[in-house]
Structure 1
Amino acid sequence: MNILAIDTSNDVLGIGLVIESKVVGEYITNLKKNHSVRVMPAIQQLLADCEMKPDDLNKIVVAGGPGSYTGVRIGVTIAKTMAWTLGIPLSSVSSLAVLAAAGRYFPGLICPLFDARRGLIYSGLYRFDHQELVTVRQDCNIPAEEWALLLKEHEEPVLFVGNDISIHQETFKSTLGQAACFAAPGEYNPRPGELGLMGVSRPEENVHTFTPNYIRLVEAEAKWLERQGKIQND
């Protein structure tokens, strides 16, 4: 099976190509640039470098969120379009789960995170059990301080992974003490190859109805609903 993996859910742009169980190519950048103008050229270049054509692909796997609203939407839209055009299956994997894969050999809990501004984070809690990534707490959008208290209840070492660790590092250190462990910078970027491998066994999404997992409403939608509620309550 030839799988193309696409991750534009955050600043990291990741394109991966998996053939059977082998990662044959990855394109990764961590730049605050517009993914919408860079992702298709990246896909084309990676396929060309690996001497493969779009018609050779058997499946598309996309990081389906959470993360940047615009970034998640770009990746999902391109993945859906390619899957529909090529007539091949589409699968989705949590953007946080892909990041958590960096902690494969950590003997404890794994906490991937993305900053969501205003003291909030996108995060989830995972662990590896016999080389399989399992979910301990579902992905959520939560204040970092509240999340730290929930993590403390587990009374286990926790490995934090992600490019936004530094923003909330002191919060987790002060709450968890020595139980708080932090990945090395080389492990901060989610690997599109991992995304492709994780997507091999994921169920197929309906290409027409599949929507990203934003977890929370974008700010404009939230304000609109808030105004509507106030109007109805008046």
Structure 2
Amino acid sequence: MPILALDTATLVSSVALATNDTLLAEITLQTKKTHSELLMPHIVKLMDMAEVAKSDIKAVAVSIGPGSFTGLRIGLSTAKTLAYALNIPLVGVPTLSAMAYGCPVPGVILAPMLDAQKGNVYQALFEWQQGELKEIEPAAVIHVDVALEKLSQLDRPVILLGESAVMYKEKIKQIGKNLIVAAPHIIIQRASSVAGLGHKLIAQGIQHDVMNLEPVYVRRSEAEVLWERRHGITV
């Protein structure tokens, strides 16, 4: 059952086609071009490369955040449109969970971290237990210094994933201890991981309504905060 998977949660644009046990094709690109420019052309190219027709796609899996507000909206609106037009299931996959899913290393803590601006990161903690990915701490916004200090106090090696692991690589090296920056091929989010986790969710009977699935922002957008300040609203 081929799944089309999309991840536009950061500057990385990634699309993949995969069955439950085979990655058919993947395009992952870091560029200054916007997701609105790249996403649909990449999907068309991906399907052509894999020789998969629209009628062959059985579901759409999409990364739903946290991450870039604009990127998440573009990815989700595209996924919804495709699922609706093709009349196939849609499943939303938490971005940080998908990143951890792509790093199946037992005996360590996995700490995906994405930029939340102003020195903050989106972070969740995971570990593999008996071949299954388990969430230890849910997604939250935390200052990077606090996050790294807490992680350095853990009694196990911690593998840091995501754009913030790259941004703060030197800071992480200075702390040293048990903190390990993931290798380049797994440090960024990839649609193949979204597809893999999407398959598992669908197998568990989890699907999402095309009309009601929303991004997981974790915090409000800067535009919302500024609007509330201008109108004297406090939350």
Q: TM exceeds 0.5?
A: yes
Letter in 1 for 2:80: K
Q: Which runs of 4+ in 1 moved over 6 A?
A: none
Q: Secondary structure at the match of 1:178?
A: coil
Q: Please report how far the alpha carbon of residue 127 of structure 1 lies from its aligned counterpart in structure 2 after TM superposition.
A: 0.9
1:222 maps onto 2:225 in alignment: yes
Separation in 2, partners of 1:20, 1:95: 19
Residues 46-68 of structure 1 show CA distances to partners (whole Å, capped at 9, x for unaligned) of: 11121211122110000111111
Separation in 1, partners of 2:184, 2:23: 22
Residue 199 of structure 1 corresponds to 198
Q: Please report how far the alpha carbon of residue 71 of structure 1 lies from its aligned counterpart in structure 2 after TM superposition.
A: 0.7
Unaligned stretches of 5+ residues in structure 1: none
Residues 170-215 of structure 1 show CA distances to partners (whole Å, capped at 9, x for unaligned) of: 444555x411111122222222112111101321011101100111
Letter in 1 for 2:210: V
Letter in 2 for 1:217: R
Separation in 1, partners of 2:156, 2:107: 9
After TM superposition, the structure 1 = structure 2 runs for residues 1-234 of structure 1, keeping only pairs within 5 Å, are 1-173=1-173, 177-202=176-201, 203-228=206-231, 230=232
Q: Secondary structure at the match of 1:137?
A: strand
Residues 100-156 of structure 1 show CA distances to partners (whole Å, capped at 9, x for unaligned) of: 234312531011111222110111111111221111111111111222233245322
Retained in 2: the 8 A contact 1:102–1:161?
no
Count of aligned positions: 231
Separation in 2, partners of 1:96, 1:49: 28
User: Please, what TM-score do these two structures have when normalized by structure 1?
Assistant: 0.91
User: Please, what TM-score do these two structures have when normalized by structure 2?
Assistant: 0.90
Change (3 A) 1:60 1:139: same
Identity %: 31
Retained in 2: the 8 A contact 1:23–1:193?
yes
Retained in 1: the 8 A contact 2:228–2:234?
no
Separation in 2, partners of 1:149, 1:232: 31
Separation in 1, partners of 2:11, 2:93: 17
Letter in 2 for 1:105: V
